[in-house]
């Protein structure tokens, strides 16, 4: 089956490039040129996943995501934006986004992130193609469905939160993952107690990866984390 993508982007050239790339990869794409048009398409022709720009006329991406969440709390939403400050990313997750990809980006990375979200949210992708759940980095493999991390030395069974944390780190590999993003996306709020809990989970993940020379999990004091691989 073809998955339906709602793609909202007001820059015509970029919209055409990404739309063609998604179509060539087997997706059915509906393009909206502003946030209001995107919301109307969502209401009358619901997609399987939303890919949203932020800076759009009529209704910006943050507002659009909030409106979509009022109608559907489970549909995956990915933001694509040149706005790359930590506050912008945090606002994206707070407004209902599940992922945030900074422009410019690689088409292959967008496709991998879409596949990951479709698998995580229980669409047929998770049942029909288990390979999309296996994320390779360095000499390691994370299976997000089986919740298993395979390193060069061992196979580790992960908890749900460990799996979700490592998946977020991989989605933001080689870039800063602000602390508030996993706190809001996985724990639900950024309270002091949850922050301390997250640090414990991060420490456990770091121990599992410490013998991997091609992988490094860094803590940026007071700011966030960076997975280098």
Tens digit of pLDDT for each residue in 125-161?
A: 333 344 456 788 888 888 887 788 988 888 899 998 9
Helix, strand, or coil here: 211? coil
How many CB atoms are closer than 10 A to CB 9?
24
The mean of the pLDDT values for the chain is 87
For residues 193 and 133, give the distance between their C-alpha atoms in angstroms, rounded to a whole number: 30
In the chain the domains, ranked by start, together with CATH numbers, are: 1-128 (3.40.50.2300), 129-229 (1.10.10.10)
CA dihedral (131, 177, 82, 97) positive or negative: positive
Q: What is the pLDDT of residue 130?
A: 41
User: Residue 1's pLDDT is what?
Assistant: 59
Q: How many CB atoms lie within 10 A of CB 196?
A: 9
The predicted-structure confidence for 205-225, as pLDDT tens digits, reads as follows: 999 998 888 899 998 887 899
164: helix, coil or strand? helix
Six-digit token string for 33: 């040129």
- pTM score, whole prediction: 0.61
Work out the average pLDDT over 59-79: 91
């Amino acid at each position: 089956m073809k998955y339906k993508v709602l793609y909202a982007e007001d820059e015509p050239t970029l919209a055409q490039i990404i739309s063609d790339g998604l179509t060539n990869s087997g997706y059915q794409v509906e393009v909206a040129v502003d946030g209001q048009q995107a919301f109307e398409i969502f209401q009358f022709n619901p997609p399987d996943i939303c890919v949203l720009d932020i800076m759009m006329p009529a209704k910006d991406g943050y507002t659009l995501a909030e409106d979509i969440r009022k109608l559907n709390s489970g549909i995956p939403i990915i933001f694509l934006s040149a706005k790359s400050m930590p506050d912008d990313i945090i606002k994206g997750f707070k407004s209902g986004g599940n992922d945030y990809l900074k422009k410019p980006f690689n088409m292959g990375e967008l496709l991998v992130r879409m596949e990951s979200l479709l698998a995580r949210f229980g669409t047929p992708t998770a049942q029909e193609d288990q390979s999309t759940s296996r994320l390779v980095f360095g000499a390691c493999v994370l299976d997000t469905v089986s919740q298993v991390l395979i390193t060069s030395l061992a196979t580790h069974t992960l908890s749900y939160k460990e799996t979700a944390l490592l998946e977020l780190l991989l989605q933001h590999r080689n870039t800063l993952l602000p602390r508030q993003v996993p706190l809001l996306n996985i724990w639900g709020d950024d309270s002091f107690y949850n922050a301390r809990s997250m640090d414990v989970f991060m420490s456990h993940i770091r121990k599992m990866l410490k013998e991997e020379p091609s992988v490094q999990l860094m803590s940026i004091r007071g700011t966030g984390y960076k997975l280098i691989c």
